[in-house]
Structure 1
Amino acid sequence: MANIVDLSTEDKLEYQFFPVSSGSVSFKVRTPNDAHIALTMGPQPSDPMIEIFLGGWGNTKSVIRKNRTKPDKVEIETPNILNGGEFRGFWVRWDSGIISAGREGEAIPFLSWADPEPFPIAFFGVCTGWGATGSWKIEDGAEFNTPDQLEYKFGPVLSGSLRFEYRGPHNCHVALTPAPAEVDPMYEIMLGGWENTKSVIRYCRQKPDKVEVPTPGIMNPNQFRQFLIEWKCGRVIVRDGESGMVIMEWVDPSPFGITHFVPPSAPVAAPLYAAPPGYPGAMGGFSAPVMAGPGNWVDASAGQIPPGAVVGGQDCSGEPLYVARAQHEGALIPGKLCASHGCAYVPWGGLEHGKPQYQVLVGGPNNWVRTNGSNVPPNAFPGGQSEDGEPLFVGRVNHEGSLTTGKVQQSHGVCYISFAGQELGFPDYEILMH
């Protein structure tokens, strides 16, 4: 779910901050040089702070700096990366201390650095200086992953519309409120409720619903669906995000000022990993290698490769990728170890997540069988489990010159891999067998 903010920055090197709700932000900027981005814990330029300078030194190079202290952590030549006459698009991501920046439309970052002392990033600031003013279009890159819990998380809304994508079997609930809290008055939009058969608009959590329309099959557990909610002078309109077709609308006779949206969200504390069948002795955490039939899962970190690690594929550069797994959001997720990056990567929630602590499959099978969809063979090698207890298997996919290992989730009918910052799903894949 994204929210776009338009703003201008003067030639003052004074940051303007806004809150972020996930580990990424996308933006477009029009400036001749020195587009500066800050990642902080609070809405002010205080340590700890990561700064990314794009097009500095006369639009010739870009750097990552921490706590306003030289030497810079990363410095690369980027001649003419910015333009004072046109908007240029970029993205910034952070996960487990790995900070990266890339161009719009390019999945591979041109700047990346692993912070050995990461901190929780809650705000994103922008500024210009050194003779430059700037115009920005900033999109909070939050992706809200919603378990089966109606718990709300709030984000600011700075315009009269909200465009978002949702992937799930049913029950996408979005609320519009006058404050960052679950308070009345409140509009609730429920899409794909009642087992994905109908959608409604509700006011102040009261029945009867103001609008009810049949929408059979509007949601899909394997595919993102786009939606647009608009409001003006009390008129609330819900549209299909791709076609623009009106799904439902209602006019409130006593409208209120909407300042925040409320999507369902996961609780802050993720549950501890509980070992699935076939993992004797597995306690929450990585205290010891875990047996899974032939082969061990062995603790490792920071790019370490245990002796006898199973090679599952190779990166675009030709570097071997090892079968690995790591904990994330209460799940134990199969993925890939890229040793030169100093971490393993696992796919979850539409994004690639770097994990400096992980487990590597050692001495295990290396027998891969082609399959597709939900056709998981009986002898498939288990690699972990999802946050809600579903077994996850080890799969791999050929993609853009790589052979990348990831997770097979049978209920979704795909193999997910992490690739260039994203989680990508493929219905045709290879699966690791005993």
Structure 2
Amino acid sequence: MLFKILFIVFLSFLPSHSFSISPTVNATDPKAVTWLLGNSAIPAQLAEAGEDIYGPLYVARARVDGEWIPGKGFYNGGTFYAAVAFMGNEIETSDCQALLRGGVSWVPLQRQEQIPSNAVLAGIDPRTREKTYICRGYVDEAGQAWLTVGKVLETRLVCRIPFNGETDTYSFEILVETA
């Protein structure tokens, strides 16, 4: 960690050049959860987490009001985007992060259960200041059920999915660390 900080400080004193630093694996724990800048993510690095009418979906997160909110990631024209649910709206942006494959799995979460202690923490809700976790559930579009990624708040066990605004489902899975 100290090496990373020193390296970044060193880079800041170099003449103006364009640098791109993108982690591909956590050197101390290859099974750890690692986020990658969305614009440097390639599909082979990501685990598919669902699908909608436009194709495969991945786990992503984007900043809203300065806080990370988890949601679905997808490619459009070769560019990686995140769509997150916030206050009844679906917010799309290419300024996002994608979750690298490995070290996680999906487990069902029933409405009366608590968030598992090994659930992947993905952000903080800007409005409520609650921890947000990654979930996925089915939404219906024109008679077709699509497995879609969303967020679940720490105290509200509902999966809020960015889909035609914001869609809620009470039958869903939550992403947990397996390491």
Partner of 1:305: 42
Superposed, 1:113-262 pairs within 5 Å as none
Separation of aligned partners in 2, 1:364 and 1:346 = 22
Q: Say whether residues 1:384 and 2:127 are aligned partners.
A: no
Normalising by structure 2, we get a TM-score of 0.71
RMSD: 2.6
Q: Say whether residues 1:337 and 2:81 are aligned partners.
A: no
- SS of equivalent to 1:339: strand
**Post-superposition CA distance 1:343-387 (Å, at most 9, x none):** 210110101000111100013334111113362122212112212
Shift of 1:433: 1.2
Structure index of larger Rg:
1
Equivalent AA in structure 2 for residue 431 of structure 1: I
Equivalent AA in structure 1 for residue 68 of structure 2: L
Partner of 1:368: 106
Separation of aligned partners in 2, 1:416 and 1:372 = 15
Separation of aligned partners in 2, 1:329 and 1:412 = 21
Partner of 2:85: 347
**Post-superposition CA distance 1:221-277 (Å, at most 9, x none):** xxxxxxxxxxxxxxxxxxxxxxxxxxxxxxxxxxxxxxxxxxxxxxxxxxxxxxxxx
Shift of 1:312: 0.8
Normalising by structure 1, we get a TM-score of 0.31
Q: Say whether residues 1:425 and 2:175 are aligned partners.
A: no
Shift of 1:304: 5.0
- SS of equivalent to 1:395: strand
Q: Is the 8 A contact 1:326 1:334 kept in 2?
A: yes
Shift of 1:330: 2.6
Shift of 1:332: 0.5
Which of 377, 391, 396 lines up with 2:136 in the alignment? Answer: 396
* Identity between Structure 1 and Structure 2 (%): 32
Q: How many residues align?
A: 146
Partner of 2:11: none
Unpaired segments of 5 or more residues in structure 2?
Answer: 6-20
Q: Is the 8 A contact 1:367 1:432 kept in 2?
A: yes
Q: Say whether residues 1:294 and 2:38 are aligned partners.
A: no
Q: Is the 8 A contact 1:305 1:360 kept in 2?
A: no
Q: Is the 8 A contact 1:336 1:346 kept in 2?
A: yes
Which of 155, 159, 165 lines up with 1:415 in the alignment? Answer: 159
Partner of 2:53: 316
* Residues 397 and 349 of structure 1: CA distance in aligned 2, closer, same or farther (over 3 Å): same
* Residues 383 and 364 of structure 1: CA distance in aligned 2, closer, same or farther (over 3 Å): farther
Q: Which has the higher helix share?
A: 2
